[in-house]
Chain A
Amino acid sequence: MNFSENLLATITGMIRESSEAGLIIPHEDLFEALGQDIILESDCYKISFFEKALDKILEKNADINKLTAKNGVSYYYSSLSMSDTYASILARKHDDTLIADIVRENSQLYPRPVPLSLFEHSPFGFTREQILDQLKRMFGSDGFQDILQTTTSSGNIFLYSSRFLDHAYAIKMAEWIDIGEANNP
């Protein structure tokens, strides 16, 4: 199947521009945008044609990546200006498991607990009420038994996954991050 270089360049450009602006771009948005501007010159109104064009772009451009969210929506981003970590947070922003996922990732990778306040800031942007609602649902549900919390001596809540951190370590690190770091400058 032949793709016009113009089409491929336009799609690639849109993905890169979107990443530069701090956004991942859903498949649907790409399709809609190109349907208005470029598609007329080729046969790619057909979804399958468009999919293949995207596959071609992924094959030819090492920086272009695709992420598929739990709801099946595919997103594209360019690693020239966006990290996999950030893109994966954006792709999961509406998943009800996002907080648990982030907690597990931090517990496994760094390893450390995370403060509740992390989720109030960009790119999460949840309100405290939204976070507490999600926690309430999580703490009572199957599949989240590993997500635990500890409260520091300042009264701040930290979350961790017992799959990767034991309780004593989580308590110690939460206290350190919340109070120890600033008291030991």
Chain B
Amino acid sequence: MANYGGWVGKTLRVDLSNGNISIENTLEKYKDYLGGTGIGYKVLWDEVPAGTQPFDPVNRIVFGVGPLAGTGAPCNGRTAITTLWPTCWPKSLVASGHMGGNFAAELKYAGFDAIIIYGKADQPVWLCILDGKAEIRDARNLWGEGIRRTSMEISRQMGPRASVAAIGQAGENLVPMSVVINSHSHSAGGVGSVMGSKNLKAIGVLGTGSIRIAGNKEEWEKAVNYHLSLLGANNQHVVPDSPQKWSEYYGPTRWVASPGRRWGAASSSIDTGSCDPHNLNRIAYRTNNAAFFLGERAWKYTVRGNGCSSCPIRCHTILKVPSVSSKYGIPEIGQNTCVGMLFGRNFFRSFPDGPKGETSIEACMVGMSLADDLGIWDNYGQMQRDFQELYYSGILKEKVGSKEFKSYSWDEYEKGSPNFLFKLLRGIALKRDELTTALGMGTGYHLERWGIPEKDWQERPELSYWKMGHPRHHSSEEAGQTGVIINTQYNRDSQCHSHTNFIRNGLPLHVQKQIAVDIWGSTDAIDAMSAYSPMNVYKAKMAKWSILRKELHDSLSICNWMGPWIASPLKEHNYKGDDSVESLLYSLATGNPKSREELDKDSERIFVLHRALTIRDMQTSDMRTKHDTVPKWIFKDQAGKPPFSSGSSAMDPDDIKLAMDMFYSEMGWDLETGAPRTETYQKLGLQDVADVFDRNGLAVG
């Protein structure tokens, strides 16, 4: 076998039932699946029989990273964790969660591309991975502890540079809405309870190895700098949010640095200043997600940005809010991004000092402190939306019984007091009562438990609920039919940012359309947000491209939250990026030259395998009507405007049928069922899938 760079070549296999640990060659089995989600899907296809439940010992949990993890390629800190998803309703199906931080790089430095874990330990354990060796260690002293203390204790044993991915009490108690977290705040939602079901408290990794870059070192460095030159701020927003001397354009983006905006809680207050995109040493100043999400007030509490290995974006903002220590007894320092940062705030409808006042920030601090220690997941904010709806509609009072209802301080809740979160979040992690047990199950299961039809949630745009227990994730509200198609394809929220990060990058529409011509063949691929035109084939191409780039990023271990890099902040390039930067980095790192098209084919193989797993485990090839469904709310505009009118985000039912036809056609799938045809599997090198489906009657075409 060729001596490839990028991969370290070994996959760790751990059977917790009997304590067996073995090592297998990554490339022999998984090279065609690249890494990350690719390895995860392949392992689930090969090793987890249809009908397996998420907490069954035979279920696998696969921590996969790819050939770019741990290299100098920008934004390579993602670990994909693939398993049967415990919040997927009404039946668990394959899905992946993704955590940033330092775990991915450290796993590679320790000598592994992936960890495949199965079985169930007979008592709590943690997995110690140190320079090519793994050992199962007793975790009885850690069981019942939060993530912070667990991580500290394991770091004390392994050394301060170790990266520890741990679950909290929520995962231990098999709360489906639970996470695994490494590097303080980098979580993968939904998988904590799968680790808990295996009595696996944590994985600690530490390595002193390095990643071999197969290509010419100067070319590699040039490629890395080239990629850096294309970066914008968080979410690849490529223009600043205010006029700056170097910038032709500005808009409502996450590029919030500006002269006079300061990291006010840094040891010496730092002016983020004018971040000319040509100055690669100032990329980390561009983003402050606390300021973006919490408002101007957050600047004074900002210490700095934090983030993943090899990522200059630093999207996890560190905040220092001294008041919370005395008021709530929590650490004055907290860090996170997006829904993690908003975890506590989003439970409340209002605060005494407004949505961006001090109390709102305190609620964020309390929420982060509790959720990231107890290890609770919020399903892209769905838990909080559900909670508000259940409370204010009166359903919650009706379902939990008066004694339990009275045990909560609802006056405190309605007044927006962060104190309310302590009982609620601890209760979720411990399944303390009916309310918290139900919330911890995830939307699909708690609706079922309380006899609420799923369709009631699917009719309400403000609830953002999509299907199968999960919410929309960048759908019609911002990307029209393209967003709808993408949101039909996964077994949890779609987590795809390839489309939305382009649409929301801040460039004028006419500039975006010029880039769209290069990538998807026509200006018609995109519309102004909420001024949608009828479906066309270029939108289907964009949807396919977006999904394949997501899978590519998740498999190479570069961050789809930061990509794609098809637009850039560079005026001299007409703001164009480069859709072959992934193949450039892959080819140089591995020494296995692949064009953009060849890598896209790899990612298509990976995505189609995900589709095959879904078909196999649902025991139907009728994806079109049984899986790729849309909620009714997408057909309504909140202001009552009809589809295709200016200011309307309403979709048209017939147009969405056409959208799915066009997407299936682009994918080479059967139009009637939405299932890949036998020839599609064969074309992608998935003959084994075709054979299985031929035998069990799930083959199409």
Contacts and interface: CB of A to CB of B under 8 A. Distances in A.
Contacts of B530: 169, 172-173, 176
Given A84-B248, A115-B252, 16 more contacts: A81-B276, A83-B247, A83-B248, A85-B247, A85-B249, A86-B247, A110-B508, A121-B242, A166-B647, A169-B647, A170-B647, A172-B647, A176-B529, A182-B342, A185-B293, A185-B338
B440 to A, nearest CB: 22
A30 interface: no
Contact of A185 (B250, B339, B647): B339
Contacts of A109: 249, 508, 510
A7 interface: no
Interface in A135-185: 154, 166-173, 176-177, 180-185
A19 B245 contact: yes
Contacts of A82: 245-246
Nearest to B646: A169
A159 to B, nearest CB: 14
A116 interface: no
B474 interface: yes
A168 B244 contact: no
20 contacts: A81-B245, A82-B245, A83-B245, A83-B247, A84-B248, A85-B247, A85-B248, A86-B244, A109-B508, A110-B251, A111-B508, A112-B251, A123-B243, A168-B647, A169-B528, A171-B639, A172-B530, A181-B504, A182-B293, A185-B293
A69 B477 CA distance: 41
A122 B25 CA distance: 56
A166 B508 CA distance: 18
A177 B355 CA distance: 15
B697 interface: no
A66 B646 CA distance: 39
A89 interface: yes
A122 B260 contact: yes
Interface in A109-137: 109-112, 115, 118, 121-123
A118 B508 CA distance: 17
B92 interface: no
Contacts of B474: 184
B508 A81 contact: no
A26 interface: no
B550 to A, nearest CB: 16
B259 A122 contact: yes
Closest 6 A/B residue pairs (Cβ): A168-B647, A185-B338, A169-B647, A172-B647, A169-B646, A177-B252
Question: Which of A82, A83, A115, A171 lies at the interface centre, i.e. has the most chain B CB atoms within 10 A of its CB?
Answer: A83
A19 B245 CA distance: 8
Contact of A110 (B245, B292, B509, B649): B509
Interface in B251-281: 251-252, 258-260, 274, 276
Contacts of B276: 81
Nearest to A85: B248
Nearest to B292: A182
Interface string A76-101: 00000111111001000000000000
Interface of B: 242-252, 258-260, 274, 276, 292-293, 337-339, 342, 355, 381, 474, 477-478, 504, 508-510, 528-531, 571, 639, 641, 645-649
A74 B623 CA distance: 66
A122 B639 CA distance: 34
A180 B252 CA distance: 11
A180 B472 CA distance: 13
Given A109-B508, A122-B258, A22 B529 contact: no
B248 A172 contact: no
A184 B258 CA distance: 24
B574 to A, nearest CB: 14
A57 B242 CA distance: 31
B647 A83 contact: no
Contacts of A81: 245-246, 276
Contacts of B259: 22, 122
Contacts of B249: 85, 109-110
Contacts of A182: 292-293, 342
B243 A180 contact: no
A176 B248 CA distance: 23
Contact of B646 (A166, A176, A181): A166
Contact of B242 (A112, A118, A154, A183): A118
A45 B173 CA distance: 85
Contacts of A167: 647
A98 to B, nearest CB: 12
A13 B538 CA distance: 49
B492 to A, nearest CB: 16
A156 B342 CA distance: 21
A169 B528 CA distance: 10
Contacts of B504: 181
Question: Which of A109, A154, A185 lies at the interface centre, i.e. has the most chain B CB atoms within 10 A of its CB?
Answer: A185
Question: Which of A81, A83, A166, A172 lies at the interface centre, i.e. has the most chain B CB atoms within 10 A of its CB?
Answer: A172
A156 to B, nearest CB: 10
A81 B648 CA distance: 40
B243 A85 contact: yes
A111 B355 contact: no
Given A168-B646, A172-B649, A111 B509 contact: yes
A19 B252 CA distance: 25
Nearest to A181: B252
Contact of A171 (B248, B510, B647): B647
